[in-house]
Structure 1
Amino acid sequence: MIKENPPLLELRDVSMEFAVARGWFGARGRMTVRAVRNVSLSIGQGETIGLVGESGSGKTTLGRCILRAHRPTGGSIVYHTEAGEEVDLVTAGPEQLRRHRRDIRMIFQDPNSSLNPRLTVAQIIGEPLITNRLARGADLKERVLETMRLVGLRPDQAERYPHAFSGGERQRVGIARALITNPRLVVCDEAVTALDVSIRSQVLNLLQELQERLGLTYLFISHDLAVIKHLCDRVAVMYVGELVEQAPTAELFARPRHPYTEALLASLPVPDPDRRRDERPPISGEIPDPAEQIPGCVFHPRCPHAQDRCTHDVPGEHHTAPDTVSRCHFAEDLHLLGIGGRGSAGFSRNVKN
């Protein structure tokens, strides 16, 4: 975390389990899917945290836990209010949640499906104010128009419906809806993934401008590493519901400390003709089912560096550098390839099982 920034939100051993039926009509009973497993993460005020991982890694579920769309089955989510109070959102009652949901908002991935086609833009943006009883009448209208201007929409577009807007404009409507309550933390769930490349850069620049202007804090969920590198102060890497690495962005991209992070970085194109792709050990297979119980390190079935102990010992947290944490038995011993440098992947010294 940026040292001078006090924490805004602290996740402490957060877990989220779902009970799902097996077989037709639940004929084979029920099983437990552990979508999020003992996640601890601190988000500082004014910081942008990137949350990355393959589809099915639990990123969106964790974001919904923060908003309390899902109630975690374990752990705590401590929100630090402007008044200096600490509120556990996991155990908070309905009235407490209603107050704090004004401060924690979400921008969704798909601007087409996240906007009600039967409402005008003014109604969509103003809905959170009505729901939270924050404004009505002339005050409601003025705040809606002011927020539209803030995100680059014209006031004369207020009575139009979502179908009359381009994809980029619809996402600006979604951003306005998230910002209308003057939040402190915004969870961006793949907020630019559905946009064209040219529009994507405009929206990213807008998000950065809004952060500087309004003092916002972002949790940016994405599988696009180029976006994460451009936007984020720190990165948390998620795999099968677990955080396997956390580091400042520059450190993580230059020198990953977990083999899964190295594998993700290998998919990012780099303008370096001298770097050969075959310098990185290949990663095989697909991300496992969250319902699968994997002993030891969750990544060991796909890890090219796995040793015997990885199959039965759960790795702890290894603090390999300031603000850098890796859940790999050999975090200090592996020399993994990042972006922007050459080298050979493998162990930097002999490692015993």
Structure 2
Amino acid sequence: MIFQEFSHELLKAKNRIVMAPMTRSRTSQPGDVPNEMMASYYKQRANAGLIVTEGAPISAVGRGYSMTPGIYTQDHIDGWKKVTQAIHEEGGKVFIQLWHVGRRSHSTISGQQPFSSSVIKVPDQVFGPLSEGGFGMIETEQPKAMTQQDIDNTIADFVQAAKNAIDAGFDGIEIHAAHGYLFDTFMHLESNQRDDQYGGSQENRMRFLLDTLKAVADEICSDKVAVRVSPHVIEGFAEEDPEIVEVILKALAKMAAMNLAYVHFSENISRYVEVPESFRQQVREVYPNPIMVAGKLTKQTAQELVDKKYVDLVAFGTPYVTNPDLVERFKNDWPLTEFDADARLTLYGGSEEGYIDYPAYQA
């Protein structure tokens, strides 16, 4: 069933297998511009029913990792056009993931003090410039609490980035609201100590994300807008949040009326708790539109989720790094090239090696 076409009034795909977003840091410098090498990488993997690109910062201040491709300058738009054209030539479909990392950054990367819901920092590292030269993992900086003007500006940045994405030829956009990034810090109790309309109650803590989704959907049409959340992932936080599942379920109930292309759940990465089956049932009760799940899935576990009708689309991340022809390998039960220690060494940054030199399977 995962190989069959997915057809819904809000989203259509040639199969239910999705290439999940993964940071690869292969842009051209200066300017963090998408390039021909990136176009080749995505073209090789256009067998997926849908590709969701690596996160693209919506602005300089939204950037938290060096050498990631932006979507806020004309050079970015022109660079991404090479990517979307390459994917469409292979009959593929692609959404760009729009990214604001919030407090998971440093001023040497973003050019100014990072933003967050409140002035709270946790131990964390991101990929940025090293004092001795080159790039590597650096400790994040203490953030500043966003003002109302900062929030208004950020919503406007997301709207503009979405317009830029459509200009670049994308089929839609996915807003990254997971993994301890900007929207996630507003929704979590630990990181949100605000006393304005964006803090305190659960409804207030989800307001920033919902307002942004509505603004973007009003601009480019709701069936071109998706969102990623991670209520069972603790990455970017000190402790598990006792309310985050309830917050996400309430937010989903409000999103249902927006008629988004899909909601994407990121699971089983970094620090996480297991997702109970009862949660999947609760999600289906409140959210009738397309649902995607990513997180260490196998062909078998993905098929089980689809068979139980808990999800409509199944996303694979690292298997797509080393298996550009992943759909055909799954379909024919061909062995997968393992994502091993050598693959990890070339995951972030580098050249064509470990990026576009993985071959298709030779029977």
- Interval containing the TM-score (normalised by the shorter chain): 0.3 to 0.5
State TM-score, norm by structure 1: 0.41
Give 1 or 2: higher strand fraction: 1
Asked which structure has the greater CA Rg, the reply is 1
